[in-house]
Each structure stands twice: as structure tokens, then as C-alpha cells.
């Protein structure tokens, strides 16, 4: 009897455990990041994490790829009827025509494109390889679909995506593949004229920079437009961002006594404790840290009620100067 009860309990645990995982249905960090990027770049419209599991059609994918390539300005206002099942008034007709003319998305027998058919992984991979200029390599590897799939794996396009070539693709899968392409440097650029062209794959910039003129940098933003974090005297060009100034700043609502690189002259701006006994404790700790490492500990309370803040936005220079004068 005890053995039977134990088996039942174990079975129930398994059931509830599986159900919990299934019920969450949450996206991975990479998938969420990819969906967010697609929306930020206006590659996706009205696609959120809640509906990103929806299957994507061939017609919708055609419109998306045109945005990925940054060639929307090349779309015609009067698309031709290339395929029997794509009328000129179809909102994807111009995108389908452009991709067909460039050999990126083709149709089926009897001049059909099947715009409402769900995109397969093999078809998506072929498009990704085509826009990055590796079709010739894929054909040498065996052509469609195996050669294209192998090339996509080699070029890291399928990183974070799994499935067979005939499986359906949803917006999440497509977003991950597109992000891999945009943030990758494995694409071939053809320059010159048809009979005297040069193909280069030695790229210093990501595909996102090449196709969309959007560049990705990692660092600490010191200024944006006419606003500087460091000084009111600094001048910056409008709409430009300055990254990685000589000073690094750690921002947090709560004070962090052991903030990153506090012994390497990094600065920590915090609030929450107001002008209270807790603030006195933080200042005592600040003094102890400076004495321990024989270097000043740059922690500054930027609560609005502090005298040097006075409920007014301040530059970092004003904060530091105000704190020194008040101390």
C-alpha cells in the first residue's frame, strides 16, 4: 500500500512538473532579445512575445526580408503580376516582386508563390543565405535544401534555432535567425560592374551596419545629443551618442557599498536613503573603503532633497562639486 501511494505521489509530481514547464511557455533570453530587436528596428510590426509563436506566411516573410535588407525605397508602386496567386493589390506584391527579381524568393510550379502558405525552415534558411551572398557556396554544398542548411549552420545563422527543413517557422524562429544575420559579419559584398566585379567577405562591420546603417556598440553612454553626463561645458553633435568616456558610472536607486571597480575610480550614484541616518552610515562606509584601499570611494547621493541637488537635474561635475562643498 505504501509502495502504491509513493508511486502515485511520484506520478503526480511528474505531471505537475511537466505542466508547470508547459504552462510557462516562456521564451529564452535570446528569443526575447530577438523579438525586442525586431520591434526596435521596425522589422516586425505588432508582434509581441505573446503572439510570436504564430506561424509566419511566405508573403509576410517577404515583407520582413525587404526591411532586413533595407531596400524598402526600391519597392515599386505598381507591382507586376509575376505569380498567378499574387495579385498586384496584395500588400506583399511589391516585396515579392523585388525578391523574385533578385533571386532571393522564388515560386513553385505553374507560376505559384503560395503567399498564404506557412514558411518552412528550409525556405527561411535559403532566403537568409541568399541575402548574405552565400548562395553559390550553398549550391556547391549540395543545393536546396541540404546545402543551404549546412551553409547556414556554418555561418551561425541557425544558432538558437532547431528543427527539420520541412518544419514550420514562427515569428520567434525567424527573429532569432534574422538577429544572427544582422549581428554577424558573414556576408559577401559585390562591388564593381557585372563583367568586372569584386566579391569580398572580409567584413569589419556587421550586416546591420552594411544593410541598415545601424551600428552596435558596447560601453557606457556619456552623452547623447546636447546632453552630457559629465559637464555642461562639453559640446556634442545633435543626435550623436558618446560612449566610454574616461569616467565610468554605476547607477542604482539603492546604495551599493561594494559597487563594481570602486577602487578603480568608478563612480556610484544612488538615492533611496534621503538625508537620513542611513545616509550617515553610507558616508561612514565610504570613508572606511577609502582608508582600506588608500583611494577615494566615489559614492554620491543624488536624492532630490540633497542641498547640492535641490530638486534640479545636475551634471556629474555639478554633483561632485556640490558634494565636496557641502562636506
- Each residue of 125-149: pLDDT tens digit? 999 999 999 999 999 999 999 999 9
Is the pLDDT at 179 greater than 80? The verdict is yes
More confident residue, 16 or 276: 276
The mean of the pLDDT values for the chain is: 83
For the chain, percent of residues with pLDDT exceeding 70: 79
Q: Please report which confidence band the pLDDT of residue 250 belongs to, taking 50, 70 and 90 as the band edges.
A: confident
Q: What is the pTM of this model?
A: 0.65
Is pLDDT above 50 for 24? Answer: no
- Indicate the pLDDT class of residue 17, thresholds 50, 70 and 90: very low
In the prediction, which pLDDT does 220 show?
A: 65
- pLDDT exceeds 70 at position 247: no
The pLDDT value given to residue 318: 84
Q: Which of 9-13, 154-158, 304-308 has the lowest mean pLDDT?
A: 9-13
pLDDT digits (tens, 9 = 90+) for 82-123: 999 999 999 999 999 999 999 999 999 879 999 999 999 999
Residue 23's pLDDT band, with cuts at 50, 70 and 90, is very low
What pLDDT is attached to residue 260? Answer: 79
In this prediction, residue 134 carries a pLDDT of 95
What confidence score (pLDDT) does residue 15 get? 36
pLDDT of the residue at 19: 36
Residue 259 pLDDT greater than 90, yes or no: no
Confidence of residue 47 (pLDDT cuts 50, 70, 90): very high
pLDDT digits (tens, 9 = 90+) for 202-222: 788 899 989 998 877 666 666
The reported pLDDT for the residue numbered 5 is 37
Burial of residue 14 (number of CB atoms within 10 Å: 0-12, 13-18, 19+): exposed
Amino acid at each position: 500500500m505504501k509502495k502504491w501511494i509513493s508511486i502515485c505521489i511520484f506520478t503526480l509530481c511528474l505531471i505537475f512538473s511537466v505542466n508547470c514547464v508547459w504552462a510557462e511557455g516562456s521564451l529564452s533570453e535570446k528569443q526575447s532579445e530577438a523579438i525586442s530587436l525586431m520591434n526596435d528596428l521596425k522589422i516586425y510590426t505588432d508582434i509581441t512575445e505573446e503572439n510570436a509563436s504564430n506561424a509566419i506566411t511566405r508573403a509576410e516573410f517577404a515583407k520582413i526580408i525587404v526591411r532586413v535588407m533595407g531596400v524598402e525605397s526600391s519597392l515599386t508602386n505598381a507591382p507586376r503580376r509575376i505569380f498567378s496567386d499574387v495579385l498586384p493589390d496584395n500588400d506583399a506584391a511589391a516585396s515579392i516582386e523585388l525578391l523574385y527579381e533578385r533571386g532571393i524568393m522564388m515560386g513553385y510550379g505553374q507560376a505559384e508563390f503560395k503567399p498564404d502558405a506557412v514558411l518552412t525552415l528550409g525556405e527561411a534558411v535559403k532566403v537568409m543565405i541568399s541575402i548574405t551572398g552565400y548562395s553559390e557556396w550553398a549550391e556547391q554544398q549540395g543545393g536546396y535544401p541540404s546545402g543551404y542548411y549546412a551553409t547556414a549552420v556554418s555561418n551561425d545563422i541557425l544558432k538558437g534555432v532547431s528543427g527539420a527543413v520541412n518544419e514550420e517557422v514562427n515569428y520567434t524562429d525567424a527573429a532569432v535567425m534574422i538577429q544572427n544575420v544582422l549581428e554577424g559579419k558573414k556576408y559577401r559584398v559585390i562591388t564593381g560592374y557585372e563583367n568586372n566585379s569584386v566579391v569580398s567577405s572580409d567584413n569589419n562591420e556587421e550586416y546591420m551596419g552594411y544593410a541598415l546603417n545601424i551600428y552596435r556598440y558596447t560601453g557606457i553612454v556619456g552623452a547623447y545629443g546636447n546632453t552630457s553626463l559629465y559637464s555642461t561645458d562639453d559640446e556634442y553633435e545633435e543626435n550623436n551618442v558618446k560612449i566610454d568616456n574616461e569616467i565610468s558610472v554605476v547607477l542604482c536607486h539603492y546604495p551599493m557599498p561594494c559597487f563594481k571597480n570602486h577602487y578603480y575610480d568608478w563612480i556610484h550614484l544612488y538615492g533611496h536613503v534621503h538625508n537620513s541616518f542611513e545616509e550617515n552610515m553610507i558616508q561612514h562606509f565610504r570613508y572606511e573603503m577609502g582608508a582600506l584601499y588608500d583611494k577615494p570611494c566615489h559614492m554620491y547621493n543624488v536624492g532630490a532633497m540633497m542641498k547640492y541637488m535641490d530638486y534640479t537635474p545636475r551634471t556629474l561635475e555639478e554633483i561632485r562639486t556640490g558634494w565636496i562643498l557641502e562636506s
